[in-house]
A and B are shown apart, each in its own frame.
Chain A
Amino acid sequence: MSTTLHHAGARPAGPGADRPPKPRPRTAGPARARLAALAFTAPAWLYVAGFYLYPLAGSVRMGFQNYTVSSFYTGVAPYVGWANYRAVLHDSHFVRTVTNTLLFTAGSLLFQFCVGLALAVFFNRAFPLGGPLRSLLLVPWLLPLVVSGTAWRWILDTDSGVLNHALLGAHLIGHPVPWLASTHDSLIAVTLVNIWVGIPFNMVILYGGLQSIPRELYEAAALDGANAWRRFRHITLPLLRPVTAVVLTLGLIYTVKVFDVIMILTQGGPAGSSQTLTTFAYNLSFQQLEFGRGAAVGNLLVLVAVVFAAVYLRATREQRRAGR
């Protein structure tokens, strides 16, 4: 399937076919124009079908099957209707997992965005060494998570971790906090690290948004006597709204399915206290070998995605209308 994709991608429609005899493109016939337009999107359609829908169909099917280890070899897995979904909903971890996912996502999004915005605003003014410093802030995004996750494990360690040493030294805490080792703190810890990883993404995009706000607006507002906060409230925030929508929607989609941060730091533990839907699905599949239930959780996640995607599209449609 991949080879046909290439051809389709390389040659979208015959170049000569859509060249009208007279320079009156609009009358070239809507049917033909639509066909040509379709030809441009055809590779993407094929791609979606082959690379996403096909695996997804497999996952949906597996969610209805009693898929065991031997099913992998024999390919035989009896259909069990909604049993996997029922089992997942009744799983003692399910409610907590969903709550964790919500808290993790909301916390990550909020802080990533706020800190990212603050940094973007900060770097928006030119100052010496601003460029290199900004580049340095992007490194968390590029480091292999195996590596940065391990560094965080040391930092957050109860006994030898530098964070507890600093907090104890500053007399902010009386006893070392078992960041990763307590059911009360582990979710906070993984959220914290995820925020750290996610800030650069927010910063880059928001910085881009700030850069494209015309300087004259600020100058005019300054002349009118508006202070920095008012300028931020009445110029920056409204003009940044479209970018904000992009950042938050993408952030949401990516955060809901964060996997490696949690797996490296806590594996969802202790006792499921930092488990989210993705790690839950993974544990069901690979620790308990309940592949059907794992797939069911994965499918629930995709369902969540459908809802978010619909919201995003609605938002951008309004925005597009407003833009015209």
Chain B
Amino acid sequence: MSRTVRLPRTSRAPAGPGTLAALTAAAALVLTACGTGTGSGGSGGGSDTLTEIDYYDAAPQNTQLPAILDECGKQVGVTIKHQQVPRAQFLPKLLQQASARSLPDLALVDNPDLQQLAATGGLVSLSKAGLSTAGLYPSIVQAGQYQGQTYGIAPGVNGLALYYNTDMFKAAGLTPPKTWDELTADARKLTHGSRYGVAFSAIGTEEGAFQFEPFFWTAGADLKKLDSPQAEQALTLWQKLVSAGSASKSVVTWTQADVNDQFGAGNAAMMVNGPWQLPTLDANKKLHFGIVPIPVPNAAAKPVTPLGGETWTVGHSNAAREAKAVKVVKCLLGHDESAKWSKDAGYIPSNQQAAAQLAHSDPQMAAFVQEIGTAKARTTELGTGYPKVSQALADAIQAALAGGTSPASALSQAQRTAQN
């Protein structure tokens, strides 16, 4: 999953007097690099206890993951100390740990961040450690690589698809849209009273960019050139949905979790979202919904969605610990464990065969599995340059949707920023 967090998970400063939030206001990140040198981190000690960090602080994943970890720890004969930090704190925390030379033994890292972290030199090469990626989707293997070495392997992956409310579609006599034109038309027809036709997240972070990329890529655009006519086409689609009133103006403030809330409450007839929302949606008994692939510009096109999902990494410590951590990763990626994780957390197994089985047995997952075959890792085109471009793209989306800027000029601005 990309960003499932609901609140802008920011560094929270205190609710001090007025804004005596004062000194904790987080602005520039400065890590006086004095942590380097002495390896006094938590990873310097013995090898009976391993440290682990992830950002699954939400139910149900926040209890499922530790359970699987404990199980694997038991098999390998180590205790695993887990730590779950909110998504927005995750990268800052890892960087702090990197600078203190105390990277955790195991970290579950979002795949677009993997190359950045691998570039620090703090991660153990998993290919050298003898872990195989055979049988996994090539795109996720690629996302885990940096300079020809594998540093991260995903137990499961995800993508985006179109959820639709079957009751509303039935009442309106519609079938789920396959093309952009159908999407626009259906959304307009389904907009009624306080209900919007479609919901998506256009928040000004990577999360918004992640949601836009299926449209962006399916149109044939390229992250290296944000101001192409294809990109403009995709952004125009989103802009029209909002300006026609088929999507709420609030999309620019919604996270994917907010979008899910809106859909669950019946405030939207369709939404763009990922499979990790399924546990929550399935629990809502009053809601009836179906899932289809993201609509495409014309009937002949195939959707290209961004590949979501986290990869397991091993931080450098000493030979004994690294060996044990690698063993734990091996266990986590094992058939049973990754199948269990996928099932509980709403993920698609990264093993192609297992995914095909899942698509067969679980119709809800079929649309997602179908898309994963053509899904694209976000760092494929740009590598470590991705975060900057994604931010520029998110800005352009917001400028077009909330600021009345034309898609063309918003995108050309973004292209200039990305090159700065």
Chain A interface residues (CB < 8 Å from chain B): 54-55, 57-59, 61-63, 68-75, 77, 87, 90-92, 108, 112, 140-146, 148, 150, 153, 157-160, 178, 180-184, 186, 194, 197-202, 204, 250-251, 253-255, 257-261, 263-264, 266-273, 277-279, 281-291, 294-299, 301
Within 8 A of A (CB), among B106-125: 116-117, 119-122
Are B12 and A72 closer than 8 Å at their CB atoms?
Answer: no
* A294–B149 CA distance with the chains assembled, in angstroms: 31
Residues of B close to A201: CB separation below 8 A: 17-20
In the assembled complex, B420 has its CB within 8 A of some CB on chain A: yes
Residues of B close to A260: CB separation below 8 A: 10-13, 21, 25
* A277–B120 CA distance with the chains assembled, in angstroms: 28
* A184–B398 CA distance with the chains assembled, in angstroms: 12
Across the interface, A254 reaches (CB within 8 A) one of B12, B22, B116, B398, namely B22
Within 8 A of A (CB), among B1-48: 7-8, 10-22, 24-37
| Nearest B residue to A156, CB-CB | B253
Residues of B close to A108: CB separation below 8 A: 19
In the assembled complex, B275 has its CB within 8 A of some CB on chain A: no
Residues of B close to A200: CB separation below 8 A: 17-18
| Nearest B residue to A296, CB-CB | B28
Are A194 and B206 closer than 8 Å at their CB atoms?
Answer: no
Are B253 and A286 closer than 8 Å at their CB atoms?
Answer: no
Are B22 and A257 closer than 8 Å at their CB atoms?
Answer: yes
Give how many A-B residue pairs fall within 8 Å (CB-CB).
Answer: 258
Residues of B close to A183: CB separation below 8 A: 398-399, 402-404
Are B250 and A180 closer than 8 Å at their CB atoms?
Answer: yes
* A217–B119 CA distance with the chains assembled, in angstroms: 71
In the assembled complex, B226 has its CB within 8 A of some CB on chain A: no
Across the interface, B252 reaches (CB within 8 A) one of A59, A63, A181, A287, namely A181
- Give min CB distance, A78 to chain B, whole Å: 13
* A178–B29 CA distance with the chains assembled, in angstroms: 32
Are B30 and A62 closer than 8 Å at their CB atoms?
Answer: yes
| Nearest A residue to B254, CB-CB | A181
Across the interface, A259 reaches (CB within 8 A) one of B11, B29, B398, namely B11
Residues of B close to A279: CB separation below 8 A: 27
Residues of B close to A259: CB separation below 8 A: 10-11, 13, 21, 24-27
Residues of A close to B33: CB separation below 8 A: 58, 71-72, 75, 77
In the assembled complex, B240 has its CB within 8 A of some CB on chain A: no
Residues of A close to B96: CB separation below 8 A: 72
Given A200-B17, A267-B205, A287-B391, A182 and B99 contact (CB-CB distance below 8 Å): no
Are B30 and A270 closer than 8 Å at their CB atoms?
Answer: no
- Give min CB distance, A192 to chain B, whole Å: 14
Across the interface, B420 reaches (CB within 8 A) one of A61, A72, A87, A273, namely A87
- Give min CB distance, A164 to chain B, whole Å: 11
Please name the 10 residue pairs, one residue from A and one from B, whose CB atoms are nearest each other, closest first. Answer: A298-B28, A58-B32, A198-B18, A75-B36, A201-B18, A269-B204, A263-B10, A259-B25, A73-B120, A270-B402
- Give min CB distance, A110 to chain B, whole Å: 13
Residues of A close to B410: CB separation below 8 A: 271
Residues of B close to A54: CB separation below 8 A: 32
Residues of B close to A157: CB separation below 8 A: 250
Are B249 and A158 closer than 8 Å at their CB atoms?
Answer: yes
In the assembled complex, B150 has its CB within 8 A of some CB on chain A: no
Are B22 and A74 closer than 8 Å at their CB atoms?
Answer: no
Are B253 and A181 closer than 8 Å at their CB atoms?
Answer: yes
Are B10 and A261 closer than 8 Å at their CB atoms?
Answer: no
In the assembled complex, B138 has its CB within 8 A of some CB on chain A: no
In the assembled complex, B203 has its CB within 8 A of some CB on chain A: yes
Are B205 and A181 closer than 8 Å at their CB atoms?
Answer: no
Are A72 and B252 closer than 8 Å at their CB atoms?
Answer: no
Given A58-B32, A69-B120, A267 and B10 contact (CB-CB distance below 8 Å): yes
In the assembled complex, B237 has its CB within 8 A of some CB on chain A: no
- Give min CB distance, A40 to chain B, whole Å: 24
Residues of A close to B416: CB separation below 8 A: 92
Given A73-B120, A298-B30, A148 and B15 contact (CB-CB distance below 8 Å): yes
**Could you list 10 A-B pairs, sorted by A, with CB under 8 Å?**
A70-B121, A92-B416, A145-B21, A158-B248, A181-B402, A254-B16, A254-B17, A260-B13, A282-B11, A287-B205
Residues of A close to B136: CB separation below 8 A: none
In the assembled complex, B98 has its CB within 8 A of some CB on chain A: yes
Max count, chain A CB within 10 A of own CB: residue among B24, B36, B194: B36
Given A264-B8, A270-B252, A289 and B387 contact (CB-CB distance below 8 Å): yes
Are B21 and A258 closer than 8 Å at their CB atoms?
Answer: yes
Are B22 and A59 closer than 8 Å at their CB atoms?
Answer: no
Are B253 and A180 closer than 8 Å at their CB atoms?
Answer: yes
Are B19 and A254 closer than 8 Å at their CB atoms?
Answer: yes
* A263–B226 CA distance with the chains assembled, in angstroms: 26
In the assembled complex, B78 has its CB within 8 A of some CB on chain A: no
Given A269-B204, A294-B27, A91 and B21 contact (CB-CB distance below 8 Å): no
Are B248 and A159 closer than 8 Å at their CB atoms?
Answer: yes
* A182–B401 CA distance with the chains assembled, in angstroms: 8
* A260–B120 CA distance with the chains assembled, in angstroms: 29
In the assembled complex, B413 has its CB within 8 A of some CB on chain A: yes
Given A69-B119, A267-B205, A278 and B26 contact (CB-CB distance below 8 Å): yes
Are B194 and A159 closer than 8 Å at their CB atoms?
Answer: yes
Residues of A close to B17: CB separation below 8 A: 141, 198, 200-201, 204, 254
- Give min CB distance, B337 to chain A, whole Å: 29
Max count, chain A CB within 10 A of own CB: residue among B92, B253, B387: B253
Residues of A close to B16: CB separation below 8 A: 141, 254
Given A146-B7, A201-B17, A204-B17, A268 and B28 contact (CB-CB distance below 8 Å): no
Interface digits, B277-318 against A, CB 8 Å rule (1 contact, 0 not)?
000000000000000000000000000000000000000000
Interface digits, B236-280 against A, CB 8 Å rule (1 contact, 0 not)?
000000000000111111000000000000010000000000000
